[in-house]
Amino acid sequence: MADAGQMQGEAEAALRRIFGFEQFRGVQRDVVARVLAGQSTLAVMPTGAGKSLTYQLPACMLDGTCVVVSPLIALMHDQLRSARANGIRAAALTSVDDDRMATMDAFRAGELDLLYVAPERASQPHFRDLLGSARLALFAVDEAHCVSEWGHDFRPDYRQLRPLMDAFPAVPRLALTATADAHTRADILAQLGIGEDGLIVAGFDRPNIRYAIRHRENGLRQLVTLLAEERGPGIIYAPTRRKVEDLAERLASVSGRRVLPYHAGLPPEQRAANQAEFVASEDMVIVATIAFGMGIDKPDVRFVAHAGIPKSIEAYYQETGRAGRDGDPARAVMLWAAGDFAQARQRLTELDEGRQAGERQRLDALAVLVETPTCRRAVLLRHFGEEPPERCGNCDNCLDAPDVIDTTELARKLLSAVYRTGQSYGFGHLQKVLTGAEDERVRQKGHDKLSVFGIVGQAEARLLQPVSRALQARGSLVANEHGGLCLAGDARDILTGGMPVVIVSPPAAGKRRRGRDAAPNPVGDPLFEALRNLRRELAEEAQVPPYVVFHDATLREMAAARPTSLVELGAISGVGARKLEAYGEAFLAAIRAH
């Protein structure tokens, strides 16, 4: 067995040769070192940190095949394309692959570096028999939070992986996830039989993503503005299938962009076609339910927008993490309304009683992120147990600090009105009572005789709706099945003066908060555009997405360095041996032409 230093040197040489990278990123080096030393590991790495490299590289260096368990067929095929483009011998055993017999023969013959399978197949006895017929180098479990009931995407079949791996005790295990808090991490270690000393946490920060959260005033108009600012590929998450189709149709007609829907209710062939078009596109937008994206390894997504609130901070982190995997600047924009929280809290009552408390905590944590006047990134990272700086400089609140108002007194007036009108009326009626409006229904109900009638003056009236939103987000007010607001959570503490209510001052009409800096790709550079056009042609010829040929960052470096030989081109980051051989002469010719 080679010593650690020699092994490290060999790993760096393989990194350069196969992937075209001069050095490891973040904790990749530590994870790869453990795998090469035969040690089992749980690596918690942010999306875009290069998790797949931590098993793909060792798979090319170790004797035997690395078996990769992955939850989605689309994700497997995406990674297959990228692996093969780098000259890695990879195959998948899934229900949609027609070459299963050939794949099994290649596996038994020791001709595969990587074999991708779904957890449902991995848990079958016949698959264990297949594994016993060849040499294994590593078990890699992707999206490992699926093994934990504490994780946000629990998959029961993941629980069958431990017995499978225990049948091969000499084979090390590598579990990978981007989203696991401390509780979930401990559970993954236990469920997959990995020692506590095998935990490597890279941190959760994605500094290239700019976070912004805004109240949904006119969702369509706000999204059209975003599409005008961001010309690259984007994902918009909508809460229902109907909303997905409506938004996709209206955005396509208003924005002039190619916008397609994606949800589980579409015919399978249309869903697959829409996803394939998005993956291959350099400027398309897809509107989707949260079912979309987990199987997408597209690195050049420039923005992720939520047209309503996500399920939790964990879900928000994972969904926004689909933006900017290539490391270039990207945006995450959430548009929310008080009704989103009201509906989410209503849905909690439909859950098993044992799950309600945990899910309520998750919703409360999301409300804090939405309502905070402080750094969004700091709130996000503290949720995952980190101790970030107070300001990140790359979220809406850091870039354009909002004014903060103590609205405790106004909140008490609103809560009093809710209580005195019998906890049966919506915000519109309560607003009329509090502002003393001349209204037939208010008089009919006798609410003009209440002590709260007309106690809110004109200056305060504009803050009533933001205060109502804040109270609903934090759970102090909840809607009943008829839409009437009721006291809940800490409402009584607020009423008795024991709990303050501070809100972000709503922006003045017409004032817009800052967007993001211009994208880093050169504008109007004929060489860069020629390289992108060449990439597009080669990708179509090979029937792969453009980013599988080269990332934008590699093209930018080519355009700046203007290499004149294969040796110079091979020194550019992202140009490995296989890609140099396949595409080198074509890109040199394009550079020479300029």
Residue 366 lies in a domain: no
Residues 6 or more apart whose CB falls under 8 angstroms from that of 214 comprise 222, 333, 334, 335, 336, 396, 513
What's the 3-state SS for 214-273?
A: EECCCHHHHHHHHHHHCCCCEEEECCCHHHHHHHHHHHHHHHCCCEEEECCCCCHHHHHH
Which of 348, 381, 399 is the endpoint of a domain? Answer: 399
Q: What's the CA angle centered on 46, arms 76 and 366, to 5 degrees?
A: 110
Residue 515 lies in a domain: no
Residue 363 lies in a domain: no
Indicate if 258 and 281 belong to the same structural domain.
yes
Helix (H, G, I), strand (E, B) or coil at 174: strand
**Model confidence at 215: pLDDT above 70:** yes
What amino acid occupies position 62? L
> CATH number for the domain including 329?
3.40.50.300
Indicate if 19 and 113 belong to the same structural domain.
yes
Indicate if 412 and 456 belong to the same structural domain.
yes
Indicate if 249 and 380 belong to the same structural domain.
yes
Condensed to tens digits (0 to 9), the pLDDT of residues 433-476 reads 999 999 999 999 999 999 999 999 988 998 998 899 889 888 89
Q: What's the CA angle centered on 146, arms 71 and 198, to 5 degrees?
A: 110
Helices (H) and strands (E) in the chain, counts: 28, 17
Share of the chain above pLDDT 70, in %: 96
Q: What is the pLDDT of residue 102?
A: 94
Residue 290 lies in a domain: yes
Q: What is the pLDDT of residue 37?
A: 95
Q: What is the pLDDT of residue 515?
A: 54
Indicate if 231 and 267 belong to the same structural domain.
yes
Residues 134-153 have a mean pLDDT of: 87
**Count of structural domains, the chain:** 4
Q: Which of 338, 288, 154, 284 is nearest to 546 (CA)?
A: 284
Centroid of chain to Cα 331 = 11
Indicate if 36 and 157 belong to the same structural domain.
yes
Condensed to tens digits (0 to 9), the pLDDT of residues 373-389 reads 899 999 999 988 888 99
Dump strand ranges (E) for 441-528.
Answer: 477-479, 485-487, 502-504
Q: What is the pLDDT of residue 46?
A: 86
Residue 582 lies in a domain: yes
Contact present, 119 and 71 (Cβ < 8 Å):
yes
Which of 169, 201, 233 is the endpoint of a domain? Answer: 201
Residue 323 lies in a domain: yes
Indicate if 26 and 170 belong to the same structural domain.
yes
Condensed to tens digits (0 to 9), the pLDDT of residues 481-530 reads 777 899 988 899 999 988 899 888 876 544 555 555 545 788 788 999 99
Indicate if 452 and 555 belong to the same structural domain.
no
Indicate if 278 and 140 belong to the same structural domain.
no
What amino acid occupies position 87? G
Indicate if 145 and 109 belong to the same structural domain.
yes
Residues 6 or more apart whose CB falls under 8 angstroms from that of 437 comprise 431
Which of 150-159, 167-176, 179-188, 546-555 is predicted with the least confidence, judged by mean pLDDT?
150-159
Q: Give the C-alpha separation, 489 to 474, whole Å.
A: 8
Q: What is the pLDDT of residue 508?
A: 59
Q: What is the pLDDT of residue 53?
A: 95
> CATH number for the domain including 588?
1.10.150.80
Residue 520 lies in a domain: no
Contact present, 550 and 574 (Cβ < 8 Å):
yes
Which of 174, 201, 228 is the endpoint of a domain? Answer: 201
> CATH number for the domain including 409?
1.10.10.10
Indicate if 99 and 181 belong to the same structural domain.
yes
Written as six digits, the tokens of 353 are: 């009683």
Specify the pTM. Answer: 0.79
Please state, in angstroms and as integers, the Cα–Cα distance from residue 450 to each residue in 316, 430, 446, following that order.
43, 12, 7
Condensed to tens digits (0 to 9), the pLDDT of residues 12-54 reads 999 999 999 999 988 999 999 999 999 999 999 987 778 999 9
Q: What is the pLDDT of residue 484?
A: 87
Indicate if 48 and 143 belong to the same structural domain.
yes
Residue 367 lies in a domain: no
Domain, as residue range, for 583: 526-592
Looking at every residue in the chain, the average pLDDT score rounds to: 90
